[in-house]
Structure 1
Amino acid sequence: MIILVFLHGLLGDKSDWKHIVAKLSPIPCVCVDLPFHGDAQNITVSNFEETVCYISKQIQNKLSQKPYIIVGYSLGGRIALYYALQSLLPKGQLKGIVLEGANLGLTSQIEKLQRWENDMYWANRFAKDNLYSVLNDWYQQSVFSHLDMEQRENIIKKRTALLNKSGGKSISLMLKATSLAKQPNFIEKVRSTLLPIYYIVGEKDHKFKNIAINNQLNHYIVEQSGHNTHQENPSKFVEILNIILKDFEMNKKE
C-alpha cells in the first residue's frame, strides 16, 4: 500500500495534518516537520538543497523502501517540487506528489528581486516585531483575503500559540532559506516529468487557481475554501486524496 507523506506550510507543523490523517485511516500516513518548525525547531538550513536533504533523511528513515506519495501544502509543496524534480538525492520509491496551493516558480529576475525584497521585509518583521502584530498583518495579504474576521482571528491565535516557544526568529530564518526568489521555476519540468503530479486548489484562491488553469495542471478545485483547503474543507480534501490513490491503484493493476 502507498504511504502518504505530508509536508506542512510556513508557520505550521505536522499537527496541521492530524484531522486529515484521522479521516484517511487506515491509509498509512507520515507527517514530517520542516526545519525551524515543530520538533525540527533546532534543525537549521540556509537553502533549498539543505532543506530537502533533511526531508529526504526523514523520509528514508521512516519509510525505508516503501512506496510513497508526498502531499505538500504551500511551502511544503514547493519543497516537494524541489526534492522530486531538482535534487539528485535518493528518493526511494517516490510515486508522485500532490501540491496544495504551491507556487511553481517565478519567470523573471524582476519578479525574483521583488519577491526577495518582500520576503526580507517579512523576515525582518518576524525577527524583531511582536508576534501577534506580525501575524495580524501577515494574514491581511491578498492570498488570505477570503477569510472573514473570525476566521482570521482564530488562525492568528493558533499560530501565535504554536510559535510562542521560539518567537518569530525561526520563521525569519526559514523565509531567508526558502524564499520563492531562490526557487527554480518548475513549470517546464512539471509538464515534462513522468512522475505523476496532482494540484489541489481552493475555489476562492484565485492566484493559485489561475496557476493551475493557465499551466494546464492536473488539478482539483475544492469548494468553499481558499488557500488552505485541507483546513477549510477537510472532507473534500480527503475525498480528492482518495480519488488520487484509487487512480494509482488502477494504474498499477494495468
Structure 2
Amino acid sequence: MPSPIWPYQTTGESYLPPVIFLHGFMGSGTDWLPIAKNLATQYYGILPDLPGHGWNTDFPLTQPINFDTVADGLRQLIEYLNLAPVTLVGYSMGGRIALYTAIQFPERIASLVLEGANPGLADEEDRQARATLDDQRAEQLQAEGIDTFVDTWYAMDLFRTLHTDPARLDAMKSRRKKNDPRWAAKIIRDLSPGRQPPLWDRLHTLAMPTLLLAGALDTKYTALMNRMGQSIPRSEVTIVPNAGHNVHVEQPEAFSQLLTNFLQSK
C-alpha cells in the first residue's frame, strides 16, 4: 500500500467543518489552494497529494495503485486527522476517486462535490479500448519525456478553454512538467478509466448531498453530470457559464461561491 498517511496541506482552523480537496492527473494539493483559501474563514481545508503525485511518492514504484488502495489511503487520512464526516471535493481523476471513496466508505463522507468526473465506462469493450489507449500514452510519455507529454496533453480538445489565458496555462504546464515521468506513466496506466470499476449502477446508493459541476463549454461532462444527477438521489447539477473542463481554475470565484452555497445549504 502507499505510505499510510499522505502528504497534505491545510487551510483554515482545524475546529471548522472539514473539506478534503482531491486534484486531477499530474496535479497536486497545491492546485486547490486558491479555492481552499477562499473558504478558509468558514471551513478547514485538507489538500492531499494523491499517490504518485507531488510529495506522495514515498513507496516503491512497483507497488500496485488501484481505486481500492487509493480509497483506503484516503480513509486512513480521514482517520489520522480524526475528522468528523467530511465534504469531499474532487476534480476529474480526483473526482473519480472521490466518488469511489464515497461509495466504499459512505459513513466517512458527509457530502460530495464532483467536478468533471466520470463514474466509469459501463461497456467492457470500451474499458479495454481506454486501458489500451492509456497504456500507449504511458509508453509515449516515457519515450518522449514529460515536457512533450504535458504539451500534448493540454493540446487535447478537453482543455481547449484553458488556452484563452496563455499565461495561466503556461504556469499550469510548468507545474505539471515537474512530475516524475515514471510516476506519471504509472498513474495513467493504473488509474485509467479503463481500469476503474464502473459505478453507474451504484450511484443510487449515495445518500449524502451531492453537487455535480461542469463547465458549460465542456459538452461531454455537461452531459455526464446531467445523467449522473438522474441517478444520485440527493444531487443537484450546476453548469457553470464561460468554463470548460477545469471550472475551479477558469472560474475560481464562481466555483468558490457555488461551493460555499452548497456547504451552507446542507
Cα shift readout 1:215-248 (whole Å, capped 9, x = no counterpart): 4352111121111111110000011111111121
SS at match of 1:72: strand
- For the pair 1:189 / 2:207, whether they are aligned, the reply is no
Tell me which amino acid in the other structure corresponds to 1:179.
S
Q: 1:41 Cα shift? A: 2.3
Q: How does 1:232-247 map to 2 (within 5 A)?
A: 232-247=250-265
Distance 1:196 1:161, change over 3 A: closer
Cα shift readout 1:48-99 (whole Å, capped 9, x = no counterpart): 111112222122212x1423110001001101111111x3x5x654212110
- For the pair 1:207 / 2:223, whether they are aligned, the reply is no
The number of aligned residues is 242
Does the CA-based 8 Å contact 1:45-1:51 persist in structure 2? Answer: no
Does the CA-based 8 Å contact 1:67-1:94 persist in structure 2? Answer: yes
CA–CA separation in structure 2 for the residues paired with 1:155 and 1:148: 6
Residue in structure 1 matched with residue 91 of structure 2 by the alignment: 73
SS at match of 2:137: helix
Q: 1:156 Cα shift? A: 4.9
Contiguous gaps of at least 5 residues in structure 1: 249-254
Residue in structure 1 matched with residue 169 of structure 2 by the alignment: 155
Q: How does 1:98-247 map to 2 (within 5 A)?
A: 98-148=113-163, 150-151=165-166, 154-164=168-178, 166-217=179-230, 218-247=236-265
CA–CA separation in structure 2 for the residues paired with 1:192 and 1:67: 17
Contiguous gaps of at least 5 residues in structure 2: 1-15, 231-235
Distance 1:154 1:169, change over 3 A: farther
Tell me which amino acid in the other structure corresponds to 1:95.
A
Does the CA-based 8 Å contact 1:106-1:185 persist in structure 2? Answer: yes
After superposing the two structures, state which structure 1 stretch, 53-62 or 229-238, moved more: 53-62
Residue in structure 2 matched with residue 251 of structure 1 by the alignment: none
TM-score (norm 2): 0.84
CA–CA separation in structure 1 for the residues paired with 2:99 and 2:228: 15
Match of 1:59 among 72, 78, 86: 78
Match of 1:30 among 46, 49, 59: 46
Residue in structure 2 matched with residue 2 of structure 1 by the alignment: 17
TM-score (norm 1): 0.87
CA–CA separation in structure 2 for the residues paired with 1:173 and 1:7: 18
Tell me which amino acid in the other structure corresponds to 1:96.
S
> For the aligned residues, what is the CA RMSD?
2.0
Q: 1:42 Cα shift? A: 2.4
Q: 1:172 Cα shift? A: 0.7
Tell me which amino acid in the other structure corresponds to 1:233.
Q
